[in-house]
Amino acid sequence: MRKVIFISVQLLILSCLCACDLFDYHPYDVKITGDRDVNRNNCNLIESACQEKDTLRFAVMGDTQRWYDETQDFVNVINKRSDIDFVIHGGDISDFGVTDEMLLQRDIMNGLNVPYVVLIGNHDCLGTGLEAYKKIFGPLNFSFIAGHIKFVCLNTNAMEYDYSEPVPNLTFIEDESKADSTKFDKTVVCMHSRPYCEQFNNNVAKAFEYYIRMLPGLQFCTVAHDHRLSVEQYFNDGIVYYGSDRISNRDYLLFTITPNGYSYEVVYF
Amino acid sequence: MKWSISKYLFIFVLLPLMSLNAQVRDSSRVYQSVVKESHYDKRVHRYRKNWEAVIPNIVKVQYAGNMGMFSAGVGWDYGKRRQWETDLYFGFIPPHSSGKTKMTMTLKQDYIPWSIQLKPSVAIEPLATGLYLNTVFGDEFWTHEPERYPKGYYQFSSRVRIHVYLGQRVSFNVHTTDFWSFARNITLFYEVSSYDLMIASAVSNHYLKPKDYLSLSVGAKFLLF
C-alpha cells in the first residue's frame, strides 16, 4: 500500500515536470500565460512611434474567431509591407470566450512587426471571456493618440450586458473629447458592433452619434461584427462607418490619413 | 449468588451457549423456517437488493483534464469483465485571474477493453477510452442562450462541454488486511483528451498543434469492493 502511494506520487511529480502546460484545468479557467495588458503596451508603442507623423497608414480587420490559419496569413502579409504604422483588430478575437483562444490569437498577432490593438467583440464576452480579455488586452474602452489623431476604441456590445452597464459609455466618449485636447485635432472612432445592429443599444443610437460628433475633427468610424465589407452612413450626417470583413474572407481595410483628408482601400490576400 | 448477577450470567453466557448447542445439533438437518416469508418481506428484500446495486464501488480522483484542477468522484463498474465504468465527479477550478473559484461536475463513461495480468498483484490496462460531459457552475455560463438573444444567436452551450479521451492504466492489488487499506485495488491512470470546441478548431486549422488542442490528466482509481 505504501509502495503504491510512493510510486503514484513519484509518477505524478514526474509527469507534471514533463508537460506542465499540457495540464488544462478548464476551457474557462482564466489562467493567463505570456503577455498581459497588450493594448496599453501597444498604445504606448504607437504613440511614441507616430509622434511626429502627419500621415498615418493603418490596417483594420477583425472577426478572427477560430480562423487561426487566415489570421497567421494576415500577419505574414502585413509583415511584408513596410508602410503600415499599426493594426486595429475590430474584435471577436475568440469564438467562445475560451481563454486559450485569446492566448493563441494574441500569440499570432504578436508576430506582427507593427503594434496592434484589439477591441472587445460580443463573442469575447462569453463565459469568462470578459475577465480574460481585461487581463490579456486591458480596459474595454480605451484611446490612443497617433500623430495628431486620437483613436477612440469603444465597447458597443450592449446585448452581452443586458443593460447592466452603460454600453456604449457616453461619459467615456465625452471625457475623451476633452482629454489631451491640445494633442489632437482629428478623431477616429473604432467599435465592434455598429449602431442599429442587434448587439447595439439602439435606444441610445442617436445619442451615441451626438456624442461621437462632439469629438474634435471626427473623420470616420470603423466597425466589424457583420462579417462583410461595408461603407455606410447610419444617420445621414456625413459620418461614414467602414465595416471590415471576417478574416476568413481574406481581406482587410487600409486607411491613409493625410493632413488634407483620408483615403481607404480594400486589400485582398 | 445474587439473582441480579445470575440473571446477567444467564443472558450473556448460558443463552448463547445453548443456542450454539442447538445450532450444532440442527446442522445436520435442513433448516426449516418457522415463519413463512411474506410478500412484504420479499418486497423489502428486492428493494434492498436493487438499491445495493447502485452503491458505488469505485472512488476516483483526477488532476486536470479540462474538468477542473482536482476532481473527485464515485463510480460503478459493470460488464462481464468489469470493462465498463461510469463515474460522477465534482471538481473545482482555481480563481487564477478571474474573481472566483468555480465548481464543476463531470459524468464520465469509460471503456477498458483489456486487462493484462503481469504479476499476481499487478495488471496493466493498455487502453482506456471514453467520453465525458462536463458542466461548470456559474451565472455566466448557460446551456441555452438567455432570452435577451435572438433565437440561435450563438448555437453552442458555454456550460456543457463534451470531451473524448484515450489513456492507459496500471493497477495494483492491495492486501485488505493492511491497517490503512480502504480499497482492494488501486489503479493509476493518465489520459489524453480533447473537447468539442477545440476539436472543431483543430480540424479546420493547420496552425493548431497537438499541444494546443490536447490536454493531459492523471488520476487514481480505488476499487472499494
Predicted ipTM?
A: 0.87
Smallest CA–CA distance from B189 into chain A, residue: A8
Residue B11's pLDDT band (cuts 50, 70, 90): low
Residue B17's pLDDT band (cuts 50, 70, 90): very low
Any domain includes A191 = yes
**DSSP labels, A213-227:** TTSTTEEEEEE-SSS
Task: Give the pLDDT score at A16.
Answer: 54
pLDDT tens by residue, B33-87: 667 889 999 999 999 999 998 999 999 999 999 999 999 999 999 999 999 999 9
The beta-carbon neighbor of A104 closest among B134, B206, B212 is B212
The beta-carbon neighbor of A198 closest among B97, B150, B215 is B150
Give chain B's mean pLDDT: 88
**Beta-carbon pairs below 8 A across chains A and B:** 121
- When divided into structural domains, chain A yields a total of 1
For A248, the grid coordinates are 476568413
List residues in chain A touching B: CB distance below 8 A: 1-2, 4, 7-8, 11-12, 15, 19, 21-32, 66-69, 71-72, 95-98, 100-101, 104, 108, 123, 126-128, 131-132, 135, 159, 162, 198
Q: How far is A202 from chain B (nearest CA, A)?
A: 14
Residue B31's pLDDT band (cuts 50, 70, 90): low
Any domain includes A22 = no
For A67, the grid coordinates are 480562423
Any domain includes A11 = no
Q: Which residue has the cell 441555452?
A: B144
Residue B20's pLDDT band (cuts 50, 70, 90): very low
Q: What is the pLDDT along chain A (269 residues), one digit of tens a residue?
A: 556 555 655 655 655 555 568 999 999 999 999 999 999 999 999 999 999 899 999 999 999 999 999 999 999 999 999 999 999 999 999 999 999 999 999 999 999 999 999 999 999 999 999 999 999 999 999 999 999 999 999 999 999 998 788 999 999 999 999 999 999 999 999 999 999 999 999 999 999 999 999 999 999 999 999 999 999 999 999 999 999 999 999 999 999 999 999 999 999 99
B158/A30 touch (CB, cutoff 8 Å), yes or no: no
Any domain includes A142 = yes
Any domain includes A13 = no
Question: Which of A128, A157, A198 is the best substitution to test chain B (most B C-beta atoms within 10 A)?
Answer: A128
- Nearest 5°: the CA angle B96, B97, B99 is 90
Q: Which domain holds residue A70?
A: 27-268
Write down the pTM of the prediction: 0.87
Check residues B175 and B199 and name the one with the higher pLDDT.
Answer: B199
Q: Alpha-carbon distance A218 to A150, whole Å?
A: 9
Residue A193 is given by DSSP the state: S
Contact B62, B217 (CB under 8 A): yes
B174/A162 touch (CB, cutoff 8 Å), yes or no: no
Residue A198: CATH number of its domain: 3.60.21.10
**DSSP labels, B121-172:** TEEEEEEEEEEEEEEE-STT--SS--TTSPTTSS-S-SSEEEEEEEEEEEEE
B63/A4 touch (CB, cutoff 8 Å), yes or no: no
**What share of chain A in percent tops pLDDT 70?**
93
Q: How far is A126 from chain B (nearest CA, A)?
A: 7
Sign of CA dihedral B120, B124, B129, B135: positive
Sign of CA dihedral A23, A27, A30, A34: positive
Helix %, strand %, coil % of chain B (to 5): 25, 40, 35
pLDDT tens by residue, B142-178: 999 999 999 999 989 999 999 999 999 999 999 888 7
